[in-house]
Structure 1
Amino acid sequence: MFYRFARFIVKVIFKIMFRIEVIGTENIPKKGPVIICSNHISNYDPPVVGITSPRSIDFMAKEELFEKKWLNVLLSNLNAFPVKRGMRDRNALRTGIERLEKGHTLGLFPEGTRSKNGEVKKGLAGAGFFAMRSNATVIPCAIIGSYEKFSKLQVVYGRPIEFKTLEKEKPGAQEVTDEIMGNIKSLLDEHR
């Protein structure tokens, strides 16, 4: 209930601030576990993906954000959960898998931090881990444009990623993440 209310408020505010164009929401399955992997250019990216996706999204967020009690309560009510950056966080990995097993949508920014120049950086292996350890459909997402007031912003959801070519090679989590990042880069190149 709180998630839907917050989503509505943010949607109204962002529609005033930015001219958001959304492409490809039909590529997101209506049911079952889904992982949405997006490039990361701003702190506004999670709410933008959250308001443009037809499904509610559980996001991993850096642990530091949960240190303030009011922010911890807010983020938890928005389905976010903490992750320790710069190390392997087994609790965050377990939480993500549990949520996918329940049929949730997991939102990830595989780069782990914002890209200052807007170019796609190398992704962290966590995205590949979730893709390999779950039966989730992986959807690439590209956020294109700037967050300057009244400027145009595009959010493009690509087709589900097929990992068939990688399956023969028995890839590791990093190779799967590299494939995901390649799909995000292709969306950026196609729609810029």
Structure 2
Amino acid sequence: MSFYRFARNLVWYLLKPFYRMEVFGAENIPKDGPVIICSNHISNIDPPVVGGAATRDVHFLAKEELFKGKFFRFFFTKLNAVPIKRGMKDRQALRQVLTLLKEGKVIGLFPEGTRSKTGKLGEGLSGIGFFALRSDAIVVPCVIIGPYKVGRKLKIVFGQSVDMTSLREVKASAKEATEKIMAEIGNLQEKHTQILD
């Protein structure tokens, strides 16, 4: 078992009973081939939660500050994290993500770029649309619903893939692609939001 899978399983099974986590739609993640999972962002522990709920290993973008020092660089690299400068303007990171997608890997992204303090979905960064348009990846929307409070239910929902074919054919802008992805995340959030016991 790889270090990533060991850490993912450990964190998932430690967190699951505290937040009563339930996963829906995991079958919407293709079993192979490049995939981009796009999720809303409400907590610092969203990456291990989404990663633990996913059926495949996920590579997440992480702010480059986390990689300072040899130990942390080694640690986060082993966790499949890709360092990126704030604002999605890091060309080296963009190329690395596209390379991973070409290799058929799964990338996990939080399009808002920062956590939502209210739980409401914010505006997405155009870099998300860039990845979707410049690759053949299947885009899977994801939402995390419910507060991170001990004893309260937390839902992780993976929706059906977002059809990017038409946008790729007309060479749409990254902003247009991002808006479509964010709309799907919003629809998924609205559909599944309910009072959680």
Residue 107 of structure 1 is matched in structure 2 by: 108
Q: Secondary structure at the match of 1:178?
A: helix
Question: Compared with structure 1, are the counterparts of its residues 129 and 87 closer, same or farther at alpha carbon in structure 2 (3 Å cutoff)?
Answer: closer
Structure 1 residues 63-72 or 181-190, which shifts more? 63-72
> How many residue pairs end up in the alignment?
192
Q: What CA deviation, in whole Å up to 9, does each residue of 1:140-165 have, x standing for no partner?
A: 00000011112100000000101345
Unaligned runs of 5+ in 1: none
Question: Compared with structure 1, are the counterparts of its residues 66 and 165 closer, same or farther at alpha carbon in structure 2 (3 Å cutoff)?
Answer: same
Q: Are 1:31 and 2:32 counterparts?
A: yes
Flag as ranges the 4+ runs of structure 1 deviating above 3 A.
164-170
Unaligned runs of 5+ in 2: none
Amino acid corresponding to residue 90 of structure 1 in structure 2: R
Deviation at 1:171?
1.5
Aligned mates of 2:108, 2:83 — CA distance in 1: 13
Deviation at 1:71?
2.3
Deviation at 1:16?
2.3
Aligned mates of 1:87, 1:107 — CA distance in 2: 14
Residue 155 of structure 1 is matched in structure 2 by: 156
Residue 51 of structure 1 is matched in structure 2 by: 52
Aligned mates of 1:104, 1:164 — CA distance in 2: 20
Residue 174 of structure 1 is matched in structure 2 by: 175
Residue 86 of structure 1 is matched in structure 2 by: 87
Q: Secondary structure at the match of 1:9?
A: helix
TM-score by length of 2: 0.94
Question: Compared with structure 1, are the counterparts of its residues 87 and 24 closer, same or farther at alpha carbon in structure 2 (3 Å cutoff)?
Answer: closer
Q: Is the 8 A contact 2:88 2:127 kept in 1?
A: no
Q: Secondary structure at the match of 1:60?
A: strand
Residue 76 of structure 1 is matched in structure 2 by: 77
Residue 63 of structure 1 is matched in structure 2 by: 64
Amino acid corresponding to residue 123 of structure 1 in structure 2: G
Q: Secondary structure at the match of 2:119?
A: coil
Q: Secondary structure at the match of 2:37?
A: strand
Question: Compared with structure 1, are the counterparts of its residues 151 and 68 closer, same or farther at alpha carbon in structure 2 (3 Å cutoff)?
Answer: farther
Aligned mates of 2:88, 2:185 — CA distance in 1: 24
